[in-house]
Chain A
Amino acid sequence: MNKYLLFFLIITSLSFTTSVNQQYISRQGQVTFFSYTTVENIQATNSTVFSIIDLENKEIAVSILMKAFTFKKSLMQSHFNESYIESDLYPKATFNGKIIDYDPNYEGIQTRIIKGNFNMRGISTEKEIKVQISRVNDEISISGETNLEVDDYKINIPPILKPNISKNIKVSFNLLHRPYEK
């Protein structure tokens, strides 16, 4: 009887470990960007960012719909989509990277570097971003900040508006991931 019980327990524990989810997704990730100048401060937020983490390969992929950024001023939102980003031509920005030295089994907060490529307006740049990764039960939260240079993405700002928009845009993000059930 003990042999059968032991066998049953081994089989059950094996099936448990093999069914642990290796992919986590976030459908409502938030990305906010800030432009600070002496003339005007501009902020826009996107709360429908999609992100997927593969724990086995320690990889992350993020997809951002540019038209989903919201501004306080609708005119600024129009300029952003029609003139600066040209969202009809480049509807999405993406980031693909690897989380360096990440321990997916650690429950708590880890500070790590994500190395990868950020693509916006068809232009790809390498980024290294310091992030805080927090795992609590079955939720993995990734948050952090980075900077983007407007010139790197060939964003054309009319001369008359150049004093209003910073050349260096601060981007912050908070992505809460849950197990991906296909």
Chain B
Amino acid sequence: MKINLSKLFYILIAAILVIGIYLWRPEKDPYAVFKKPITASDLIESQQDGGLSNSFIDKGLEVSGTLLEINQENNKYALLIEGKNGSDILCELKEDQVSLLSTLKLNQHISIRGIYKGYLKDAILLNCELIDIAVHE
């Protein structure tokens, strides 16, 4: 009986450890999974070619292109980057990036990185961050 209780105790500890490790495992950095600089027009072209961009879904992408619009709706800020053939890149910004918006100008060439989620009319990226902000002309 003592031996059974002892084994049970160790099994219980092991189970708690496994569950704990699973629940509190550090989250993977989505940007570390896949990083490939790509132009906005190339991303649009790849999705319009049919499916090639599916391999990018839920991956971090660095995208560069011309800033068309800065929009705010429902307390969310998003950048619209010029794409191709009537489709653009819609990039929803992380909250800590909003303070950088004042450094941007329309038609400026910018680079952003974000998590690609797929496309509707435009390619959609979430959790976007600004990188390599170009010097104003």
Contacts and interface: CB of A to CB of B under 8 A. Distances in A.
A23 interface: no
A67 B74 contact: no
A65 interface: yes
A70 B126 contact: yes
A114 interface: no
A91 B74 contact: no
Interface residues of B, number: 20
Interface residues of A, number: 19
A67 B57 contact: yes
A25 B120 CA distance: 12
A79 B73 CA distance: 28
Nearest to A180: B121
The secondary-structure label for the interface of chain A is: strand
B62 interface: no
Given A50-B121, A65-B118, A67-B117, A27 B90 contact: yes
A3 interface: no
A113 to B, nearest CB: 24
A68 B74 contact: no
B81 interface: no
Given A48-B90, A68-B126, A70-B126, A28 B71 contact: yes
25 contacts: A25-B121, A27-B78, A28-B71, A28-B73, A28-B78, A28-B92, A29-B73, A30-B73, A47-B92, A48-B120, A48-B124, A48-B126, A50-B122, A63-B120, A63-B121, A65-B117, A65-B118, A67-B58, A68-B117, A68-B126, A74-B27, A91-B118, A174-B74, A176-B73, A182-B86
Interface of A: 25, 27-30, 47-48, 50, 63, 65, 67-68, 70, 74, 91-92, 174, 176, 182
